[in-house]
Amino acid sequence: MLCLSSLHDLAKVENLIRQKFASHAPRLREICAYLFDLGGKRIRPAICLMTAKALQFDTSSSQDLVDVAAGIELIHMATLLHDDIIDNAQLRRHSQSPYLKFGLGDTLLSGDFLLVRAFSLCAHLDQYIIDATERACVELTEGEILETPLAKVTHSIDSALDIARRKTASLFRLACESAAFLARPGDTVITHFSAFGESLGMAFQALDDILDVTASEDLLGKASGTDIREKKPSLVNVLWLKSGDPVAARMLLGEESVQDQQIADAVQFLRGSDVIIEARKIARSFAVEAESRLDEISRLVEVDLPSFQGLKDLVSYCIERME
Amino acid sequence: MLCLSSLHDLAKVENLIRQKFASHAPRLREICAYLFDLGGKRIRPAICLMTAKALQFDTSSSQDLVDVAAGIELIHMATLLHDDIIDNAQLRRHSQSPYLKFGLGDTLLSGDFLLVRAFSLCAHLDQYIIDATERACVELTEGEILETPLAKVTHSIDSALDIARRKTASLFRLACESAAFLARPGDTVITHFSAFGESLGMAFQALDDILDVTASEDLLGKASGTDIREKKPSLVNVLWLKSGDPVAARMLLGEESVQDQQIADAVQFLRGSDVIIEARKIARSFAVEAESRLDEISRLVEVDLPSFQGLKDLVSYCIERME
């Protein structure tokens, strides 16, 4: 479905990622491989490769591109390991989370290990990419630490979107910006690709927030309504609060924990509500922004059509999954 | 007492470290500054600066040296934050540990943030230093993950020393090796400095293991006998087990947790025992190895005497504190 045009290069990236699990401590290898084998869309390396290809960059001969794509996925993996600890998550992709399976200490250290491996992959690259990587990673930790539960800190739609921009869109932006930088199409196009990545990332995070309520547990690979349980400043939760529903205030602003039945009822209610309609509208606006950046790029440079179409398909995929 | 000759440069390093706490998220700044203000010997940046000075490198005009020294301390700080989480440590330097004060999630993220800042400081340096930094950081996480409690995994003196080499000596080695590399005294001297740093780090870790038993809680800034409580494969614990004492086997190999009174009794017994004498002998052998590397270096190159003496004093300090 996704990223078909870059399958060969993606295999190279995946091989490099696996090589980076090498360690004198078998446990580090084991935990990293376990997480990697849980699967995933590998969307960050995929958009990195598709961006470069779209700019007619010879992706097959650029080790730098493979390094960037692998580095970004390794950073993403590190955040998954650490997020599960922070969220006390028991499930990931229908399986035991690494945190549940391997325990806090070893999972935490494996995340550190992956961060180190990621940085060393990027360290030999142009200072532009190093700076962009630092910025994205700093934003990532900022986004996570700013994501204080609604019961503790007041959030607005703006602050919720700012968090999404930092914690999710930053790595999407980095993937597109770094790949565009390597293809050297000129500053304007790099800026457009950077903005495209950010908007796509925002659409993905909004989609994630929506699916937490609208998708089945089977599709999610974990319980629905997790954002409600954790009183997260997700787009849906913030819109629900803003709607003035006293149930939202009671469940999300109270200190006490929310019962399973309450979450099931809330999910049921939200699925058909104006809250989700509003969330979709905002998500769609990011997808539209991403599309308009692509249109702009295609006016400025000659693009490789299949890869360019792949990027457009990603945006459409995002819109379709929302409905 | 320590590092007097490098005070001015150390202030530059400390300023840079503080600059790196800058963040859009006030909480990240707060946690990093809290940890930094708890104090500490700043021994890693200090030996970095002293190594460069000892090699007559103009430390006042090298931003690279300041970056390396600050980067290594930032990495060390990240590991302190993460270690407290892993060890469930309540106290650090007579105060609440950051983990106790700020909670798991925010402390974990602050450690990630510091790792990112550290790497971006080192990323513009020579590939030699980047590779050495990656190696040290990988060894660090390996050392920590291999440090499985004695109740779960059998350890020997060799495996305990291997863990110490990875988790502690690696950053000491990196500090000396990177500084020597920047001063460009030739490969042989770099190798000697690298080995000096490693041996000094081993002596420091052994000292730490000994002080856990011999020092007062007041001096330690936390409870004595922590290594016993956590059944760590510390040098002292492994030697105690090897001595054949059935109390050691009962306390360190059993799954059940050890009572406060048992720890107090064990600490009391160990203080006057052959176990500590043996541990001191091993610690002293690392200090002697460190000294012999310094002697070798002084035969190969002309050294700056005050800084060189500063490094020698560090080794002596280590030996004196053991007694």
Percentage of chain A with pLDDT > 90? 85
Closest Cα of chain B to A265: distance in Å?
Answer: 29
Residue B6's pLDDT band, with cuts at 50, 70 and 90, is low
Average pLDDT estimate for B294-319: 94
Residue B236 has pLDDT above 80, yes or no: yes
Q: Cβ(B199)–Cβ(B289) under 8 Å?
A: yes
Taking only the tens place, the pLDDT of each residue in A63-120 is: 999 999 999 999 999 999 999 999 998 888 889 999 999 999 999 999 999 999 999 9
> Would the pTM of this model clear 0.90, i.e. be above it?
yes
Give kind and range of the element (H or E) at residue A92: strand A91-92
Contact list in A for residue B145 (CB cut-off 8 A) is 25, 27-28, 105-106, 109-110
Residue B201 confidence (pLDDT): 97
- How many domains, in total, are found in chain A? 1
Residue B4 has pLDDT above 60, yes or no: no
Q: Taking CB atoms and an 8 Å limit, are A116 and B115 in contact across chains?
A: yes
Taking only the tens place, the pLDDT of each residue in A236-258 is: 999 999 999 999 999 999 988 89
Residue A4 has pLDDT above 60, yes or no: no
Q: Taking CB atoms and an 8 Å limit, are A108 and B112 in contact across chains?
A: no
Given A120, A123, A134, which is nearest B116 (Cβ)?
A134
Taking only the tens place, the pLDDT of each residue in A29-59 is: 999 999 999 988 899 999 999 999 999 998 8
Residue B3 has pLDDT above 70, yes or no: no
Q: In chain A, which residue's Cα lies nearest the Cα of B87?
A: A105
Taking only the tens place, the pLDDT of each residue in B58-85 is: 888 899 999 999 999 999 999 999 999 9
Residue B37 has pLDDT above 50, yes or no: yes
CB pairs under 8 A between A and B: 128
How far, in Å, CA of B191 to CA of B176, rounded?
Answer: 10
Question: How is residue B266 written in tokens?
Answer: 């064990």
Query: Both ends of chain B: CA-CA distance in Å?
Result: 17
Residue B319 confidence (pLDDT): 86
Taking only the tens place, the pLDDT of each residue in B201-230 is: 999 999 999 999 998 877 777 788 999 999
Secondary structure, 3-state, chain B: CCCHHHHHHHHHHHHHHHHCCCCCCHHHHHHHHHHHHCCCCCHHHHHHHHHHHHCCCCHHHCHHHHHHHHHHHHHHHHHHHHHHHHHCCCEECCEECHHHHHCHHHHHHHHHHHHHHHHHHHCCCCHHHHHHHHHHHHHHHHHHHHCCCCCCCCCCHHHHHHHHHHHHHHHHHHHHHHHHHHHCCCHHHHHHHHHHHHHHHHHHHHHHHHHHHHCCHHHHCCCCCHHHHCCCCCHHHHHHHHCCCHHHHHHHHCCCCCCHHHHHHHHHHHHCCHHHHHHHHHHHHHHHHHHHHHHHHHHHCCCCHHHHHHHHHHHHHHHHHHC
Over chain B, what is the mean pLDDT? 93
Average pLDDT estimate for A128-142: 96
Residue A223 confidence (pLDDT): 80
Residue A171's pLDDT band, with cuts at 50, 70 and 90, is very high
Residue B93's pLDDT band, with cuts at 50, 70 and 90, is confident
What's the domain range around A182? 4-322
Over chain A, what is the mean pLDDT? 93
CATH number, domain of B175, equals: 1.10.600.10
Residue A177 confidence (pLDDT): 98
Residue A188 has pLDDT above 70, yes or no: yes
Residue A183 confidence (pLDDT): 95
A→B contacts (Cβ < 8 Å), by residue, are 23-25, 27-28, 78, 82, 85-86, 104-106, 108-113, 115-117, 119-120, 122-124, 127, 130-131, 133-134, 137-139, 141-142, 144-146, 166
Residue A6's pLDDT band, with cuts at 50, 70 and 90, is low
